Structure formats: C-alpha cells, structure tokens
Structure 1
Amino acid sequence: MFKEQIGKQSNKVKNAVERGAVKKFAEAIGDLHPIYFDEETGRNSRYQANIAPPTFPRTFDYGTIEGLNLPNKGLIHGGQTFHYERPLRVGEDILCYTKVKNYFEKKGNFGEMGFLVIENYGEDESGALIFSSTSTVVISEAVRKVLAR
C-alpha cells in the first residue's frame, strides 16, 4: 500500500525558529531552562544565542509528499528519534523536508499492522544539515482496510 512511496520526498519548506514559539514550546513541555528564552543567558552561553529544545522540530512544516495520503485519525505514533549536528538557534530560518524511508507490515495481536518510517531533515540556508529525525507511524488493520477501498 505504501511501498511505492519509499524514497519519495517533499519540497523544502522554510521555517523560522521564532523566539515566542520557542518560549511557548518550552513552557508547554515544562522545561523552563533559561537557555531557551532568557537573552542574557543565550548571549553568555557557548552557543552565543538562545537555542530551541531538542524536540522543537515537531512544530515545523516539512511539506507534502505527493501521493502520500494518510488519514487524520487512527494512526499511532510509534516513536521518534532526533540527531543533531548543532542546536537550533533562535532567530534563524530552517529549510525542512521529509522523506519516506521504509514501509513494512507485521502481524500482531491486533491484526496486520503497517509501519511507515519517515525521516525529517532541517538544513540551514546554505544546505548544511542541522538535524534529522526518524519517526514510525503505525497504521492499524482497521485503517489499512479503509485506505484500501
């Protein structure tokens, strides 16, 4: 069902690491470290700027992969990992895109499940990689049956 999507990627989308959004995100996750929002702390840090929490890229727009039509309901977040070359600096623009890495199926207690592995990337404006993340979307048998119609 999704095997033909493996290797496809979206166009790059510009996202801002905006100060207010970083502060709200840090508050929402309960991590009030001053490196995220206190300007003096940021200036005096080894990064010489405020940085975003490691999971902040969850808020970014990664574009759309043509033909990858996932439903809005019934999917299970199977986990996500992040890898950083350097932290995201408040005030910078990031070019983000997504790629389908893999799709496989397994039989489990709840029937045949699909596993869609997605990779997200964030680059600076010169094209240097800042971060990547890998996430797995679990597609239940019920959702797979609806999509097969």
Structure 2
Amino acid sequence: MFTNWIGLCSVKVKNVIERYTVRQFAESIGDSHPIFIDEETGRKSIYKQNIAPPTFPRLFDYGMIEGMDLPNNGLIHGEQIYHYERPLLVGEIIYCYQEVKDYYEKTGRHGVMGFLIIQRYGETEGGHLIFTAKQVVILNETVRKEVKKDEKSHRTE
C-alpha cells in the first residue's frame, strides 16, 4: 500500500530562522539556555551569534509531496531523529524539503499498522547540508483504510 510514495520529494522551501521565533520556541520547550536567547552570550560563543534549539526544525516548512495526502488527525508520531553537521544560526536562511524513504507494515493487537519513514533535509542556499531529520509516522488500521479509500476514489475521478 503506500510503496508508490517511496522516493517522492517535495520542492525546496525557504525558511528564515528568526530571533523572536527562536526565543518563543526555547521558552515553549522550557529551555531558556542563554545561547538561544541572549545576544551577548551568542556573540561570545564559538558561533559568534545565537543558535536555535536542536528540535527547532519541527517548525520549518518542508513543502508538500505531491500525491501524498495524509489526514490531519489519527496519525501517530513514532520517532524523530536529528543529525546535524553544525548548529542552526539565528538569522540564517535554510532551504528545506522532504522525501519518503520507506513504508512497511506490521500486524499487532489492533490490526495492521503502517510505518511511513520520511527524511527531511535542511540546506544552505548553496546546497550544503546542515541537518537531516528522520521521522517515523505510524498509520493505525483506521487511518490506513481511510487513506486507501481516498487513493481509490482519486484514481477513479
């Protein structure tokens, strides 16, 4: 079922790491480390400016993958793994996109569960990779059936 999505990518989307948003995010996750919010601390750091918290890329726009229509409700967030080449700097522009890497199913107590693996990327304007984020989205039996039904109806239209 969803294996035809493997390899599909979104187009790159421009994201700006804004100081105010970094401050709000840091406060919302309860991490008020000065490297994120205090400009003087940022200037004195090895980065010479403030950086964003490691999970900040959750806020980025990664674009839509054409043809991949998942419901807004009923999905289960399985895991999120970040890998950084360097920290994200406040004020910089990041180009982000996502790719469907894999899909597999497992049968459990509540029926068949689908596991959709999405890899997200953040790059500089020049295309230098800054981070990747692997996301596992779990589709329970109800969601799988709904998406499958929607796929069939789109094919017959």
Q: When the two structures are superposed, what TM-score results if normalisation uses the length of structure 2?
A: 0.94
Q: Which residue is 1:60 aligned to? A: 60
The share of aligned pairs that are identical, in percent, is 61
Q: Which residue is 2:152 aligned to? A: none
Q: CA deviation at 1:109?
A: 1.1
Cα distance between partner residues in 2 of 1:124 and 1:107: 41
Query: How many pairs align?
Result: 149
Q: CA deviation at 1:58?
A: 0.2
Q: CA deviation at 1:31?
A: 0.2
Q: CA deviation at 1:147?
A: 1.7
Which residues in structure 2 correspond to 1:1-149 (within 5 Å)? 1-149=1-149
Q: Which runs of 4+ in 1 moved over 3 A?
A: none
Matched residue SS, 1:41: helix
User: What 5-or-longer segments of structure 1 have no aligned partner?
Assistant: none
Q: CA deviation at 1:2?
A: 1.1
Matched residue SS, 2:43: helix
Q: CA deviation at 1:146?
A: 1.5
Q: When the two structures are superposed, what TM-score results if normalisation uses the length of structure 1?
A: 0.99
Question: How big is the alpha-carbon RMSD for the aligned residues of Structure 1 and Structure 2?
Answer: 0.5
Q: Deviations over 1:15-67 (max 9, x none)?
A: 00000000000000000001001111000000111000000000000001000
